[in-house]
Amino acid sequence: MLQGITKVCCELLDLKDAVENICGDMHIKYLTFLRNNMLLACVQILKIGEVCELFEEARGTLNKNVKSEIWRSLDVLRL
């Protein structure tokens, strides 16, 4: 997913370069549009990073709980 967003950012930068050849008010409108979309893409990348961190934390907790439950089950079987 992160690669897809990075690709979109690169495409937006390419589009920005192409739009820089346009003159006048239309030029400013396109640059504003592109800048806003690049900022949005950056925010999305940051949010994806936060989600990945939360996922890793949850996975670690789940692994710890599963291991604890396995050991408890083995202790019950030994009794």
Q: How many domains does the chain have?
A: 1
b/e sequence 57-74, b meaning 16+ C-beta within 10 Å: eeeeeeeeeeeeeeeeee
Tokens 């900022």 identify what position?
39
* pTM of the predicted model as reported, rounded to 2 decimal places: 0.44
Residue type, 30: Y
The pair of structure tokens assigned to 21 is 């050849």
Q: Which domain holds residue 60?
A: 2-78
Distance between CA atoms of residues 63 and 1, nearest Å:
24
- Summarised one tens digit per residue, pLDDT across range 67-77 is 887 777 777 77
Task: Render pLDDT for 11-62 as a digit per residue (tens, 0 to 9).
Answer: 777 777 777 766 666 767 777 888 888 888 888 888 888 888 888 888 888 8
